[in-house]
Amino acid sequence: MSYEYFIAKRYLRSKKRTGLISFTTFFSFIVILLGVACLTTILSILNGFESVVLDRFLAFDSHVKVMSKGEEQFPDAEQFTTTLKNIPQITGYSPYISAKAMLTSDYGEFITTLKGVDLETVDRVSRFRDKVIYGTNDFTIDTVKTEFGIILGKATADKLLVTPGDEIRVMSLRGLSRVYQIPPVRKFTVTGIFDAEIIEYNLLYSFVPLSAMQRFLRMGNDVTGFDINTTHIENSTSVAQSLREVVPENLLVKTWFDLHKNLFASMKLEKWAALVVLSLMILVASFSIASSLIMLVLEKRKEIGILKSMGSSANGIKRIFIMNGMIIGSAGTILGLLIGLGFCLIQLKYELILLPTDIYIIELLPVKINPLDFILVGIIALILTFAATLYPARSAAKLIPARALKYE
């Protein structure tokens, strides 16, 4: 143990210290502790919300979408599937047809995106069939009413006042810009109702089998796009870039982030805002550490003079007060990290904090522990603490022994 560290610890618990210095030191320790604990907890909660939202979006959106522009048909779909098989990062793909349509029941009407999905491959890129809460998820028609089955979102079904087994009319809005274009109209039977737990998706999508969509729109074997999943969501950008280099210019390649850029950008901004705002608490504590060290330097002028007269260097004196402040900051930081981690682990295991379901779309307060966030918060706290010790330490190092001991 170096003498600087020994003296720094001795000054920290010295009985001669004034009450104000002791109070300021304790206040600094508590504020750093609370700031670090609050910051790590809030970042973990924001990570939890982001994870929940991402999971619910990806239940309906694939990692990458390749689609034709406007109402054009997908060129050479068979050749494109061969291209997909040659990219090792792709784990699944599914063709689809997407078009705007008006749904009409005896009680109302609603415009939605009608999506025809391939039943053999759709489960590789989407989990919407797992979200069916009423009826069946395989488009099975129990009673012979219509030729086609359709699965609606919960909000869409509520607007149309229909349940599984009811009949609705579907009118395609595809190609209505063309002169004298007569839109196709067919009757569908509601076979299932899904709940995406995101109101926009409950309203946005309605699903039918791909073969039914092709017959409905008289498209033969054509499709309008492909949903693609990768080995990991982080690979979606590189896969999308690879596809852009090989697909024709009349095709659009979009990642999940491109489709929801504003949402996830705002969530990331909220996370950084929380980091900046709560770091101000630690900054306040660092000013308190600086003020307590300045008062400690004034109190220990005699001791500093004696140490210098005994041969202690200016850098040695500086290290004493830097270590004194860093002990306070390190203790508060470590304990704050442990408290924040403990809260997150308790919430994950025991699910103590519940959320009102009439306000939030989830029942429990979500928490996701990201080790990098804890490391970042710890580094910020230690850097601010270290910065706060520099001025008092320099002041102590500049004391001249003769002046320090002149009136002693």
Q: What is the pTM of this model?
A: 0.84
Q: Distance (Å, rounded) from C-alpha 41 to C-alpha 256?
A: 28
- DSSP code of residue 138: S
Mean pLDDT of the residues in the chain: 89
Residues 178 and 50 in one domain: no
Same domain, 126 and 203: yes
pLDDT tens string 176-213: 655 556 788 999 999 999 999 888 889 999 999 999 99
Same domain? 70 vs 180: yes
Distance CA 395, CA 320 (A): 12
Closest to 63 measured CA to CA, from 72, 75, 54: 54
> 69-73, 146-150, 158-162, 302-306: which range is least confident on average?
69-73
CB within 8 Å of 167: residues ≥ 6 apart: 105, 145, 146, 187, 188, 189, 190
**Looking at the 3D structure of the chain, how many domains does it have?**
2
Co-location of 140 and 68 in the same domain: yes
Query: Domain check: are 26 and 90 in the same one?
Result: no
For residues 241 and 274, membership in a common domain is answered with: no
Based on the fold, state whether residues 399 and 271 are members of the same structural domain: yes
Is 107 in the same domain as 242?
Answer: yes
Question: Does residue 247 sit in the same domain as residue 111?
Answer: yes
Mean pLDDT over 100-121 rounds to: 95
Q: Does pLDDT of 154 surpass 90?
A: yes
Tell me which H or E stretch contains 211. Answer: helix 210-216
Instruction: With a cut of 80, say whether residue 377 has pLDDT above it.
Output: yes
58-62, 95-99, 138-142, 250-254: the lowest-pLDDT one:
138-142
The span from the CA of 289 to the CA of 377, in Å, is 18
pLDDT, position 40: 96
Residues 20 and 150 in one domain: no
The Cβ-side half-sphere exposure at 87, using a 13 Å CA radius, reads 25
Rounded CA separation 71/407 (Å): 92
Same domain flag for 36 and 85: no
pLDDT, residue 13, reads 66
Give the domain-ending residue among 256, 290, 322: 256
> Residue 16: its pLDDT value, please?
56
Q: Which residues pair with 3 in a beta bridge?
A: none
Task: Give the tens place of pLDDT for each residue, 380-390.
Answer: 999 999 999 99
Q: What is the pLDDT of residue 67?
A: 94
User: Are residues 188 and 98 both part of a single domain?
Assistant: yes
Domain with 375 in it: 3-57+263-405
Domain boundary among 236, 256, 276: 256
Q: Are strands 90-104 and 167-172 parallel, antiparallel or unpaired?
A: antiparallel
> Among residues 210, 230, 256, which one ends one of the domains?
256
Residue 240, token pair as written in the block: 């999308």
pLDDT given for residue 63 in this prediction: 95
* Burial degree of 120 (CB within 10 A; 0-12, 13-18, 19+): exposed
